[in-house]
Amino acid sequence: MRRNGPLTVLVLGALLGTVLSQSPSWRLEPAGASSPPPRGGARLVNADGTLFYWGGFYECFDANAGCDHSFYTDLWHYDLDSSNWEQITATSANGQFPERRAFFGANYWENGDVVVIFGGVRYNVNLSFLLPFGDIWFYSVEDREWAPVQPVNEGPGFRLAPNVAIYQNDMYVFGGLKATFQVANDMWKFNLITRKWTQLIAENAAGSPGPAYLASFRLDEARRNIILMGGNIPIAASGAQTNQTWSYSIRDNAWTELSFLERGRIHNAAEVFANRFVTAFGDLENIPGENGCRTPEASAGQAPTDQVLSLNLLTNEWSTVNAQGGPGPLKRVMSTRVGNRMYVVGGYNYLCPSGPTTPGFPSWNENMYSLRLV
């Protein structure tokens, strides 16, 4: 195979930089007669032109107020042709359905024409109850049917906020939070045909990224790589997030460290477009000495952003995308890619009108937006 030379790489990088410098605008997508209630921790998946939207929760931010988290099990499809949300009543051949949860992994398996979900968690506001999941489910958008998947061997077990990508007939899983609250950095592969787990890289192996959960994990199919960016690191309630970016080679089963972000983030949108990895929104890393906008709970400051950043995968350089319009700062958003557009739904901004050191309140996003990036 003929490889691009340095001049070609520079020209392609310049062209892509030109496209992204033309100030793309966020587009508010029509909702139709009804739309999903606002939430975070769900998943939005492009299933061959129909958007699958399931799970997540509406958070309580003050246990003293007598509220608790509300976890969702409602299922929605968004038809891109009619620009319409539809709430789905799914079936199951054996009467089994996945339990409501948030922070699970999900992606579309093209060869099987199903959405695959893995792991997740359900918990209450004071963490006196926590139910982690390590199960796998298939959902057929065409048949509107759920089916549990039984692995033939043991795999990574319970994983909260695992990082999931699918290439051909394999689901790749990196890290996540274990039921013991230990953060993992191992790499697993689940063959979606044979239903067998294989550990590809053990925990704490040399040359691996550090432990992380709630990271961005997106397939770069053209190069047979998976891009890992950001994520929480194991310091409880610290707001500490890694600013690292890595590339995992499916062919070589090896990690390569890429350019760092100026500031780490989680709960963001992220997709791969041609030769760029793009991230939007998210919760910025807590900076020591920075109070942020606080909740009444024991947590780090809230720092949602509306920033859009792009990593050129040819030159390994980050740049800012000057996106116009949009919903403003958001965190806990869900995203998917359809052609040359990034679709983003859900999440919230967190407001502290009386000052950053005082408890604030969430302003939930009830809309879906998209941004053309190629």
**Share above pLDDT 70 across residues of the chain, in percent, rounded to a whole number:** 88
Report the pLDDT value the prediction gives residue 295, as an integer from 0 to 100. 67
Residue 113 domain-assigned (yes or no) = yes
Separation between Cα atoms, residue 189 and residue 242, nearest integer Å: 24
Are 243 and 261 contacting, i.e. CB atoms less than 8 angstroms apart?
yes
Angle at Cα 228 formed by Cα 322 and Cα 197, nearest 5°?
150
Torsion of CA 161, 165, 170, 172, to 10 degrees: -50
pLDDT band at 19 (very low <50, low <70, confident <90, very high): very low
Give the CATH number, domain containing residue 141.
2.120.10.80
Radius of gyration of the chain (CA): 20
H or E segment to which residue 17 belongs: helix 6-20
pLDDT higher than threshold 80 for residue 12:
no
SS3 116: strand
Q: Which of 121, 124, 215, 205 is nearest to 174 (CA)?
A: 215
Q: Is residue 25 part of a domain?
A: yes
| Domain assignment present for 107 | yes
- At 62, is the pLDDT very low, low, confident or very high (cuts 50, 70, 90)? confident
* Predicted structure pTM score: 0.91
Residue 194 falls inside a structural domain: yes
Residue 112 structural domain:
6-372
User: What are 10's two structure tokens?
Assistant: 């520079």
- Which contiguous run of DSSP H or E holds residue 58? strand 57-58
Q: How many CB atoms lie within 10 A of CB 361?
A: 16
* Number of domain units in the chain: 1
Give the β-pairing of 145-149 and 91-92. parallel
The Cα 73–Cα 146 span in angstroms is 12
13, amino acid identity? G
Mean pLDDT of 27-38: 94
With 80 as the cut, is the pLDDT of residue 173 above it? yes
DSSP string over 248-266: EETTTTEEEE-PPPSS-EE
Element at 278 (helix H, strand E): strand 276-280
pLDDT at 234 over 70: no
Q: Is residue 1 part of a domain?
A: no
Span of 88-97, 257-266, 289-298 with lowest mean pLDDT: 289-298
Residue 317 has pLDDT above 60, yes or no: yes
| The two structure tokens encoding residue 218 | 């997106």
Three-state secondary-structure class, residue 192: coil
Question: How far is the C-alpha of 328 from the C-alpha of 314, rounded, in Å?
Answer: 30
Model confidence band, residue 22 (pLDDT cutoffs 50, 70, 90): low
326: confidence class by pLDDT, cuts 50, 70, 90: very high
Amino acid identity, position 144: R
pLDDT reading at 21 higher than 50: no
Q: What is the band of 301 on the pLDDT scale with cuts at 50, 70, 90?
A: low
Per-residue pLDDT band for 289 (boundaries 50, 70, 90) equals low
36-45: average pLDDT: 97
